[in-house]
Amino acid sequence: MEIKYILDIIYLVASVTFVLGLKMLSHPDSARKGNLYAAFGMTLAIIGTILLYNHADGYTTREPIKIILILAAIGVGTVAGWLTASKVQMTKMPELVSLFNGMGGACAAIIGLMEYEHNLGKTGALATIIAGLIIGSVSFSGSVIAFLKLNETMKKPIRIPKYNILNTVVMIALVLFGTYIVYDQPEHLFLVVLLFVFALVYGVLFVIPIGGADMPVVISLLNSFTGLAAAFGGFLYQNQVMLTGGILVGSAGTILTLAMCKAMNRPLSNVIFGAFGGGAATGTAANINGSIKDISISDTAILMNYAKKVVIVPGYGLAVAQAQHVIHELELLLEERGVEVVYAIHPVAGRMPGHMNVLLAESNVSYDKLVEMEDINPQFANTDVVLVVGANDVVNPAAKTDPSSPIFGMPILDVENATNIIVNKRSMNAGYAGIDNLLFYQPKTSMLFGDAKGVLSKLVSELKQM
Amino acid sequence: MNQIINFLGENIQMIYIIILSVFVGVEVIGKVPAVLHTPLMSGANAIHGVVIVGAIIVMLNTPAENILALALGFVAVVFGTLNVVGGFAVTDRMLEMFKKKK
C-alpha cells in the first residue's frame, strides 16, 4: 500500500464533498448542511496534505520548523477569519466575501511567484504558473477595490478618460508580457515580480470604473477568477482536489454571475464596460412633472392600521439604518390588528442577490413572509398600502417606460398598482444607480422623509396608541 | 503545434477532470433560487480556498534554510486559511438565519 494512494483517496472524498456541498447549498433546507460537508472535506484535504503529501521527485521534507510554521499560519488565519466572520454585521457581508475572495487570489499569486524558479525549462508548467499568477493577482487587487467601494471608502465610480480602451490595452499588454515570460523564461525573478505588479494594477483598473451597485456582479466574477487561479495551481501540482474545487467554483461562479446580471436585465459586458449613472441621469430629469407630496407619521399610521393588506418593500437603506428589527416589530403589530403583511423582495434588493433575505432573517422575519418578485407583482393590485423603505431603483417605473434610462429593461416591483404608496427616504437624493425616480412624483405616492429607523420607531409607537 | 499536442496528451486526465468539473459546476448551480444567491456565492468562495493546499505544498517543498521563501509561504498559508475559515464561517452564519420559523 502506498501512502500516496491514501492522500489520493482523501482528495477524492474532499472533491465529492465540494460537489455535494454546492448542490445542497442550492436548496434552502439542505444549504447549511451542504456548507458543513464542504468545510469537512476541506479540513480533510488540508490535514491530509500536511501529513501525507510527497513530491514525486522527493523535494518534500518535513523539518519541525516548517511544520510549526505551517500550523502557526493556519492558526493565525483561523483565529482572524473566525473572528471577522462572527463579529461582522450582516449588512457588511458583501464586503467580507469580497475580502476573503481577495485572500484566496493573493494566495494563488504567491504560489505562482514561488514556483516560477522551480519550473524553468518546462514551458507547460510555466504557462500554468504565469496564468495562475496573473489571475490570482487581478482577483486580489480587484477584490480589495470592490471591498473599498462597498465600504464606501471609495464612493464615486472613478472615471478615467477612455478607460475602456485603456483597460483593453493594459489587458493585452499583460497577456503579451505573460506570454513573453513563458517563452523567454528569464532566470531572474525581477520580470516575474514586475508582471505580478502589473497584474495588480490591472485588477485595480478593472474594478475602479464600475459603480457600487454593480459590485455584487464584480465580486461574483472575481470569485470565479479565484476559482480558476486555484485550478491552475491544481494543474501544476497534478492535484485533483485543487483542480476540481477550483474549476467547480470557476464554472458555478460564472453561472451565478450571469444569473445576477439576468436579474438586473443587463448583459455582463454592460456591467464591465458600460458607465452606469453619472451623465445618464439627465435624460429623465427633463420630463418630470408633478410634485412631491409629504405625509406625516400619524397619517401613515392611520392608513396602515385600517388597511387590509400592506406590502413592505425593503431596500438597502433599511439595512444601512439598521431598521430590520423595527420593521419586524411593525409587521407583528399590524398582524395583531388583522392586517396582512408581506415583504416584497426584489432579486437584487440589498447589495447582493438574496442579501435582503439574509438581513431580514437576522431579525427573525419568517421565511414565508418574504415573497419574490414574480409572486408579489400580481398582488399589488389588491394591496392597500405599499411601504417602500430605503429602496429606490427596484421600484423605478423608468425601467419599464424610459428607454433612455440606464436601468431600462430591469424587472421591477410594480408598486404603482397599489392604492397607496408610501416611500420612506432620507432625502430626495437619487438611488444607488444615480437616477431620478418618477414614482415619487405620482399622485398616489406620499413621501415619508427621515432616517428609516427613527421614522419606523415613531410609526410603531404611534400605532400602539391607536 | 507538436508542443501543444504533447502538452494535452501528457495531461489528458487533468483535462478530463477540468471538462467534467465545468459541467458539474454548471449543473449543480442551475436551479438555485435567488434567495440563496448570496450564501451560495459565499460558499463557493470558501471552496476555492482549496488553493491553501497549494500553499502548504509549496512550503513542504521549500528547503528549511530558505527563509525568504518560507516567509512568503507563511503569508500564503495565512491568506488561504482566511479564505477557507472566514468563507465557511460567514456562510454558516448566513444560513443559520434561514431556519423556518412558525
| Model pLDDT, residue A289 | 58
Residues 72 to 101 of B: which have CB under 8 A from any A CB? Answer: 72-101
CB A348 within 8 A of CB A216: yes
| pLDDT reported for residue A228 | 95
Q: Which of A314, A336, A458 is nearest to A387 (CA)?
A: A314
**Residue, of A431 and A254, whose pLDDT is higher:** A254
With beta carbons under 8 A apart, name residues in chain A contacting B72: 110, 113-114
Q: B54 in contact with A at a CB cutoff of 8 Å?
A: yes
Mind listing the pLDDT tens digit for each residue in A405-441?
777 778 888 998 899 999 988 877 665 555 678 888 8
B57 touches A: beta carbon within 8 Å: yes
**pLDDT score for A360:** 86
**Tell me, what's the pLDDT at A209?**
83
Average pLDDT on B10-29 reads 91
Residue A321: pLDDT band with limits 50, 70, 90? confident
> Taking each helix axis from N to C terminus, what angle separates A215-237 and B37-47, rounded to the nearest 10 degrees?
30
Interface residue B8 vs chain A (CB under 8 A): no
CA distance B67 to chain A (A): 10
pTM for the full predicted model: 0.82
Band of the pLDDT at A160, cuts 50, 70, 90?
A: low
Q: What is the pLDDT of residue A130?
A: 96
- Say yes or no for a CB contact (<8 Å) between B21 and A248: yes
B15 touches chain A (CB under 8 A): no
Is residue B35 less than 8 Å (CB to CB) from chain A? yes
Partner-chain contact B102 A366, CB within 8 Å: yes
Of the candidates A100, A220, A240, the beta carbon closest to that of B17 is on A240
Query: Which of A230, A251, A256 faces B41 most closely, judged by CB atoms?
Result: A256
Residues in B closer than 8 angstroms to A247, CB to CB, are 17-18, 21-22, 25
A100, B80: Cβ pair inside 8 Å?
no
Task: Report how many Cβ contacts below 8 Å link chain A to chain B.
Answer: 379
Give the model's confidence band at A263: pLDDT under 50 very low, under 70 low, under 90 confident, else very high.
confident
Selected residue with higher pLDDT from A189 and A285 = A189
In this complex, the residue of A74, A108, A256 whose CB is nearest that of residue B81 is A74
pLDDT in the model for residue A277: 40
Per residue, the 3-state secondary structure of chain A, as one string, reads: CCHHHHHHHHHHHHHHHHHHHHHHHCCCCCHHHHHHHHHHHHHHHHHHHHHHCCCCCCCCCCCHHHHHHHHHHHHHHHHHHHHHHHHCCHHHHHHHHHHHHHHHHHHHHHHHHHHCHHHCCCHHHHHHHHHHHHHHHHHHHHHHHHHHHHCCCCCCCCCCCCHHHHHHHHHHHHHHHHHHHHHHCCCCCHHHHHHHHHHHHHHHHHHCCCCHHHHHHHHHHHHHHHHHHHHHHHHHHCCHHHHHHHHHHHHHHHHHHHHHHHHCCCCHHHHHHCCCCHHHHHHHHCCCCCCCCECCHHHHHHHHHCCCEEEEEECHHHHHCCCHHHHHHHHHHHHHCCCEEEEEECCCCCCCCCHHHHHHHHCCCCHHHEEEHHHHHHHHHHCCEEEEECCCHHHCCHHHHCCCCCCCCCCCCCHHHCCEEEEEECCCCCCCCCCCCHHHHCCCEEEEECCHHHHHHHHHHHHHCC
Q: What are the pLDDT digits (tens) for A274-299? A: 654 433 333 444 455 567 888 888 88
Distance between A291 CA and the closest CA of chain B, angstroms: 36
Work out the pLDDT band at A99, boundaries 50, 70, 90. Answer: very high
Catalytically active residues of A are 393
Q: Mean pLDDT throughout A379-406? A: 85
Q: Do A85 and B46 make contact, defined as CB atoms within 8 angstroms?
A: no
Give the pLDDT band of residue A387 (cuts 50, 70, 90): very high
| Cβ of residue B12 closer than 8 Å to a chain A Cβ | no
> What does the alpha-carbon distance between residue A311 and residue A387 come to, in Å, rounded to a whole number?
6
| CB contact B67 to A (< 8 Å) | no
Q: What is the pLDDT of residue A276?
A: 47
Q: CB distance B85–A63 less than 8 Å?
A: no
Give pLDDT, residue A159: 66
CA distance A231 to chain B (A): 8
State the average pLDDT for chain A: 86
A295-299, A352-356, B49-53, range with the lowest pLDDT: A352-356
What phi and psi values does residue A341 have, to the nearest 5 degrees?
A: -125, 130
Q: Higher pLDDT residue, A1 or A7?
A: A7
Which of A170-179, A251-260, A269-278, A456-465 is predicted with the least confidence, judged by mean pLDDT?
A269-278
Over residues A193-223, the pLDDT tens digits come to 999 999 999 999 988 888 767 788 899 999 9
**pLDDT score for A280:** 39
Top mean pLDDT of A3-7, A227-231, A452-456 is at A227-231
Residues A80-100, mean pLDDT to the nearest whole number: 89
Q: What is the pLDDT of residue B100?
A: 52
Looking up cell 448566513 gives: B94
pLDDT for A1 equals: 72
